[in-house]
Structure formats: structure tokens, C-alpha cells
Amino acid sequence: MAVHKKYYDLGGEGVAYHDTDPKNHGSGELNPADGSYLNEFRIHEGVDTSYTKFNRKPDPIDDNPFDKIVPPADLPYVGWTEPGEWFNITVDVAHSGTYAADFLYTSNRGGTISVDVNGKDVTGPLEITTTNDPADPLAWRQWHHWNLASQLFKVRLSKGKSVLTVHILTNGNMNLAYFDFKPVHE
């Protein structure tokens, strides 16, 4: 892999991210503060974080039959997104080049996001297809139908560190797990 990064940046509200409220609605709220790493991941930051949960009975959560793709278990993600929110991800690029980004996500009602590189919009609005499936009998699970948007966008990245900023433009109600950057051979 030529681009490395695991989580959104540290630095707080207005620096590393903007969230519409200061409470983390995943860590410490939905996921009880019990001392475990995943339940308390960045618990005191406004970015709403949770993680993929498998083998839950009687109703499977993130390993459900309505997934388009089954995500990895215990994968942290940003959720409870609202238009106007954003977060930074600093990446360390091993080799300059053009990269295609696959995107693992859920989206209750579709919407748009955009991505900046070092403060410059490089994608414009990106349409995120809804993962809502009316066949699912559990309404709350509409936020847990995972999909992979293959080559959602292409971007030129220079060797070294770059700051990507992910903006939620419209609709929100998305869970954003990761971008997987692969070199494009031109």
C-alpha cells in the first residue's frame, strides 16, 4: 500500500474536525463507557464514532444479510453525520502519483460528500448512493447496510504528508469507514 493512515486527525473542534454538537454519540453513549478501547474510542471528542459489531443475537448488526459487502469486524467509523460537518485525515504517501479511492460506507438516504487535499477541493460533490433497503424489517439497521464504492474518485497525491478533508455536503446519516487508495497506472 502506498498511502497510509488509520484514523481522523487529532486537534479538536475547528482544527481537526467540525461536528454540529460537542457530544460523541457513539463512544460513551451508544457504546457504553466500560473501559474497552472500542467503546471509548476518542470518547471526549465531538466526532461521533462507533465500530462494526458482529455476532450479535438475536439481530445481527454490521454482519447482516442486507450488506452489499461485509465490512471487517471491530472497524472504527465516523457516524451520525450531518451536512456542514468535516474531518481531516493526514496521509503519508510513499510514492507520488494518481490514486483511485474505494470508499466503505453506509448511507440511510444517499447524499453528497467532497474531499479536499491540503485545503483545495479536488473532487467537487461526490454522490453517495443510498444503502437503504426497505426489505430489512429492522428500521434502525438502515444505518448498517455496508457498501463499497469502487473508485469513488481519483486524486493526484505527492510523496510525503498531505491533509485530506472530508466534507459532508448533503443529507448526512452516513457511516464513513475508510478510503482505500490504490495507484492508477497511467
Give me the residue spans of the domains in the chain. 3-183
pTM of the shown model: 0.94
3-class SS of residue 66: coil
Rg of the Cα atoms in the chain = 16
CATH fold of the domain at 3-183: Jelly Rolls (2.60.120)
pLDDT score for 185 = 83
Across 58-71, average pLDDT: 97
Q: For residue 144, what pLDDT band results from cuts at 50, 70 and 90?
A: very high
Rounded percentage of the chain residues whose pLDDT exceeds 70? 96
